[in-house]
Structure 1
Amino acid sequence: MPLALLVVLAGVWFALPHLSGLLGLAKEETGAPESMPPSACHGSSAAPGHAAGAAFDGFNNRYWAPKDPGDGQGEYLECDFDQPVRLTKIVVFSGTSARTDEFLTQARPARITAELTAKDGSTSTHTIRPADQAGQQTFDVRGSQTVRVRLTLDSAFGTGKGRRVAVAEVEFFGHRS
């Protein structure tokens, strides 16, 4: 009996340094994700008055749009984080605004490739398919130790002469690494 007790105590002693990490992981998996604003962002190009920063300013009545009209294919927004984050969700407001009466004034993303770059340089890609509707759309996109996210436009709704693909707002959610 005393030997069994000693074995259990020894096991607890050696497990103590690892318990905080396990408890932290459990908290991340069960806790609500928090907003993860990027420290810097830029776009492949920008139409006058519609810089990349408009898609990350916390307002969904200003928007980013590429310089050239068209389907926007290959244009991108790229964001960096000062500290690695454990990304869990990306929220997208497509079009020029969350208001339905303004939403359709420009083209909107139909498919976006999200490329996540981790602290060690490894990358993972995720496809985001926003519906052609105004307002917030949330996508499960997970990445550990994420330091950069590139959102590349693959296709769009409502393209036409003089219309640019517009993104009103992008928000990242997750946990601090």
Structure 2
Amino acid sequence: MPGPAAGAPVAAVPVAAPAPVVRCRHCGTANEAGRTLCVRCALPLDPGPAPAAPPPWWRRLLRRGGRQAPLAGTRPRPAWRRPRIVLPLVLVLLACGIWFGLPYAKDLLGLVRNEVVPPEALPPSAVRASEALKGHPATAAFDGFSNRYWAVAGTGPTLEADFGEPGVGVTKLVVLAGTSTKKDEFLTQARPARLRVELVAADGGTSTRRITLKDQPGQQTFDLHGSGVTRIRVTPETAYGAARGRHVALAEVEFFGHRG
């Protein structure tokens, strides 16, 4: 067949348009337009419209029903069980516990401090007695010397120690009965057998404890608990070795605890 004549115009041959592609928004791979899943990562090429914003938490608490199934090809999120009435109830109970526990927070902190911090000596700011024999005043029971003592004719008189406000926290009581820590001097006079100890707080409240002493020289230690104590009264109720011409002797009284 003869070819076209020289100089004759050549007809243009149409070029086929490139096939449309869809880029995967997850991995960037080009896919044919008709595909729904990516040829590389198998995730949806057109996941559809963006999910609606989640409702407020208070509306989710009231909503009931099953959990919506995930879309095909998507990775499901970890299941989370929505709080219903239990979580709000726990929060309300916790708030009530804090509210009603505030008045006792100071006592609780004081209790923790008493258990952790070693007690210190609590010398009183003033002392007095309802009765005392000559040469044996109330101050002799708080001077730190075991050979000087407070003496009374018999049981019943009161020995008082003041600590001032806001008071002290008392944890221990140390007593040295009799006239001395030496055995021969200890037995020369009567000794307290039972003491009534009254703790007076800054708000006027009082607590009483009765302590039984052993009839022996040397210090005897007792637990004695009180907070905000501003005054302590010590009263001998009974005595060892009481007889005509013998007086009741109390060599030393010491208090331990924490200030403030």
Q: TM-score, normalised by structure 2?
A: 0.58
State how far apart, in whole Å, the 2-side matches of 1:128 and 1:25 are.
Answer: 23
Q: What residue identity is the alignment partner of 2:156?
A: G
State how far apart, in whole Å, the 2-side matches of 1:133 and 1:158 are.
Answer: 12
| Residue 173 of structure 2: aligned partner | 90
SS for the counterpart of 2:163 is: strand
The structure that has the greater radius of gyration is 2
SS for the counterpart of 1:29 is: helix
Whether 1:62 aligns to 2:62 is no
Whether 1:45 aligns to 2:131 is yes
Q: How many residues align?
A: 161
- Structure ranking higher on relative contact order (CA contacts 8 Å, 6+ apart): 1
State how far apart, in whole Å, the 1-side matches of 2:163 and 2:115 are.
Answer: 21
Distance 1:175 1:159, change over 3 A: same
State how far apart, in whole Å, the 1-side matches of 2:128 and 2:217 are.
Answer: 24
When the two chains are superposed, the root-mean-square deviation of aligned CA atoms in Å is 2.2
The runs of at least 4 aligned residues of structure 1 exceeding 3 Å deviation read: 20-25
State how far apart, in whole Å, the 1-side matches of 2:222 and 2:190 are.
Answer: 20
Percent pairwise identity:
56
Higher fraction of strand: 1
Q: What residue identity is the alignment partner of 1:76?
A: T
| Residue 4 of structure 1: aligned partner | none
Deviation at 1:171, TM superposition (A): 0.2
| Residue 75 of structure 1: aligned partner | 157
| Residue 138 of structure 1: aligned partner | 221
Q: What residue identity is the alignment partner of 2:189?
A: Q
Whether 1:27 aligns to 2:113 is yes
Q: For residues 133-176 of structure 1, what are the alpha-carbon distances to aligned partners after superposition, in whole Å with 9 as ceiling and x for unaligned?
A: 00000011111110000001110000011101100000000111
Q: For residues 55-84 of structure 1, what are the alpha-carbon distances to aligned partners after superposition, in whole Å with 9 as ceiling and x for unaligned?
A: 000111100001x3xxx2211101100240
Deviation at 1:23, TM superposition (A): 5.7
Query: Structure 2 unaligned runs (5+)?
Result: 1-90
Q: For residues 76-122 of structure 1, what are the alpha-carbon distances to aligned partners after superposition, in whole Å with 9 as ceiling and x for unaligned?
A: 10110024001111100000011112111100000010010000000
